[in-house]
């Protein structure tokens, strides 16, 4: 029986590419997210390549009961979860003084509390699977600061802190916990940042995209495939001694000391 990987935010962007790469690597992948249509499209692509997957739509990672039920269903269908990738996230932009409590709570709820709830629900299964792997998709925003995304920065700093704490709690087990921290990545999520830049500066979308690419010393945007390859390495047997790390995939923009 193939080992089971559970990926949140699997319908688009980085989460989708991670799910496809895990299926390519031989995992039976649970594609978890809120909307059925993009999840089903990913499942169709996986099936066309000879891989195995199942769709878990309606997964609101901020709702404890929904998360518990979703994880239980996935385990019943595909066996213990060997790999958990927490990728569900939001990154709205607003000046700090215009960041309302609703926006703050929504971003922390999805990005941080969602990671907490999904990990807590899946952890007994991960321990049972053996050589378990938890990978949290954070951001370079969790390692440094960016203007106009205070809630996002706070949530991703929290994800990295959670990663480190849980890695130490599980250090004597065979479960590792790491965070992958992409810089500006060419995904639909980036389009929101581009819209804000164009709205505030009058630049074209291409000019805004180029300005974000310049923050990367390599002078380009990161690709979702590059982030996915980092995840594939972390879940491999070769990375068994790597735990509690926040690994930047950002062309040298952020360097951990």
The predicted-structure confidence for 37-57, as pLDDT tens digits, reads as follows 999 999 999 999 999 999 999
CATH of the domain at 48: 3.40.50.720
**Mind listing the pLDDT tens digit for each residue in 77-126?**
999 999 999 999 999 989 999 999 999 999 999 999 999 999 999 999 99
Q: Confidence class of residue 36 from pLDDT cuts 50, 70 and 90?
A: very high
200 vs 100, residue with greater confidence: 100
- Report the alpha-carbon distance of residue 227 to residue 222 in Å, rounded: 8
Q: What is the pLDDT of residue 13?
A: 93
Is residue 194 scored above 60 in pLDDT? no
| CA dihedral sign, ordered 156, 158, 162, 163 | positive
Residue 20 lies in a domain: yes
- Tell me whether residue 79 is in a domain: yes
Q: Which residues are catalytic?
A: 152
Which pTM was predicted? Answer: 0.92
Determine the structural domain holding residue 153 and report its residue range.
Answer: 4-185+223-249
Domain membership of residue 195 (yes or no) is: no
Q: Does residue 8 fall inside a structural domain? A: yes
Residue 34 counted as domain residue: yes
Q: What is the pLDDT of residue 184?
A: 83
202-206 mean pLDDT: 65
Query: Is residue 176 included in any domain, yes or no?
Result: yes
> In this prediction, what percent of the chain has a pLDDT beyond 90?
79
Whether 201 is in a domain gets the answer no
Mean pLDDT in residue range 22-48: 98
Q: In this prediction, what percent of the chain has a pLDDT beyond 70?
A: 89
Give Cβ neighbours of residue 99 (< 8 Å, ≥ 6 apart).
150, 151
Q: Does the residue 71 lie in any domain?
A: yes
Domain count for the chain: 1
């Amino acid at each position: 029986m193939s080992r089971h990987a559970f990926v949140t935010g699997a319908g688009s962007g980085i989460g989708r590419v991670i799910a496809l790469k895990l299926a390519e690597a031989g995992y039976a992948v649970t594609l978890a997210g809120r909307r059925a249509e993009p999840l089903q499209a990913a499942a169709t692509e996986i099936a066309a390549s000879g891989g195995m997957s199942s769709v878990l739509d309606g997964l609101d990672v901020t709702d404890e009961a929904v998360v518990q039920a979703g994880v239980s269903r996935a385990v019943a269908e595909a066996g213990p979860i060997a790999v958990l990738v927490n990728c569900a996230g939001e990154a709205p932009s607003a000046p700090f003084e215009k960041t309302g409590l609703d926006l703050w709570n929504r971003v922390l709820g999805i990005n941080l509390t969602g990671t907490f709830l999904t990990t807590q629900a899946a952890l007994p299964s991960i321990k049972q699977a053996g050589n378990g792997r938890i990978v949290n998709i954070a951001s370079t925003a969790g390692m440094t600061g960016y203007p106009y995304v205070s809630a996002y920065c706070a949530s991703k700093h929290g994800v990295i802190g959670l990663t480190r704490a849980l890695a130490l709690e599980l250090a004597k087990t065979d479960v590792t916990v790491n965070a992958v921290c992409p810089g500006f990545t060419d995904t639909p999520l980036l389009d929101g940042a581009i819209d804000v830049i164009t709205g505030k500066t009058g630049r074209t979308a291409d000019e805004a995209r180029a300005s974000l690419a310049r923050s990367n010393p390599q002078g380009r945007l990161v690709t979702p495939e590059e982030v996915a390859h980092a995840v594939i390495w972390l879940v491999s047997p070769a990375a068994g001694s790597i735990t509690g790390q926040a690994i930047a995939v950002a062309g040298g923009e952020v360097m951990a000391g």
